[in-house]
Amino acid sequence: MHTNQNLLEYYHERAGEYDKVYQNPAEQADLQAAAQYFQEIFAGKKVLEIACGTGYWTAVMAQTAQSVYATDGNESLLEIARQRIQSEKVRFAVADMYHLSSAEKYDAIFGGFIWSHILKQDLNAFLQQLKPLLRLNGLLVFIDSNPLENTNHDRRNISITDANGNSYQQRTLENGKSYSVLKNFPNDAFLRECVADIASEIDIQNFEYYWILKCKIT
């Protein structure tokens, strides 16, 4: 399990344009439904957020959570998140999600649009290292993209699939820089299999644009 420096660099370069992903009119109904769902399930909880980016979901969760400790590997994205959210409930920190440790235990861990950027062969070790950060029966929740034609997540944009079945998209930023970005599209069965050994009450919600995985750590 290694930190993907290419991915960190890609998002650092994309920081200023990142929030445009949340402006597609067609996705607003799904985004609102997901926001409502998160505000319900995280209500009153102490949440650790990994790869929080510009804080779109941090702001959503902070409405009802007891607290959110929002972390990301890139200070450039956290700076935008800090400007977005001024709440006593929210703390930000630079942290590599592959090397997390904490004396504290959280009621919930949340990751938005990061599952797809984790190598399939790293998922088991990645999920195992989250376990000690959660209290017993703590919630583990991820949201990520469905593959849809004519979107940024169109399967036809996949340029390479490696020997482990990881797919990569070639993406060009507004500054002209181009990156090969790991972007996997797991199906429900694969998601269930990944968390089966560490969780119970596995629940998968499917919206048009997104899926949400919620389970309880055992």
Ligand X SMILES: C[S@@+](CC[C@H](N)C(=O)[O-])C[C@H]1O[C@@H](n2cnc3c(N)ncnc32)[C@H](O)[C@@H]1O
Contact 210, 34 (CB under 8 A): yes
Name the CA dihedral angle for 27, 123, 44, 37, rounded to a multiple of 10 degrees.
20
Beta strands 106-112 and 46-50 are parallel
Given the complex with ligand X, which of 104 and 189 has the nearer CB atom? Answer: 104
Rounded to a whole number of angstroms, the minimum distance from the CB of residue 147 to ligand X is 15
- Tell me which of 9, 17, 75, 96 binds ligand X, using CB under 6 A: 96
Neighbours of 87 (CB within 10 A): 14
Residue reference for tokens 């376990």: 131
Collapsing DSSP to helix, strand or coil, 117 comes out as helix
Given the complex with ligand X, which of 53 and 186 has the nearer CB atom? Answer: 53
- Among positions 72-91, residues that touch ligand X (CB under 6 A) are 72-74, 77
- Tell me which of 42, 57, 179, 210 binds ligand X, using CB under 6 A: 57
- Among positions 101-140, residues that touch ligand X (CB under 6 A) are 112-114
Counting every residue written for the chain, the total comes to 218
Using CB under 6 A as the binding rule, whether residue 51 contacts ligand X is answered as: yes
Nearest-angstrom CA–CA distance, 90 and 136: 23
Q: Which region among 46-54, 160-168, 176-184, 195-203 touches ligand X (by CB under 6 A)?
A: 46-54
Residues that bind ligand X (CB under 6 A): 3-4, 7-8, 11, 51-53, 56-57, 72-74, 77, 96-98, 112-114
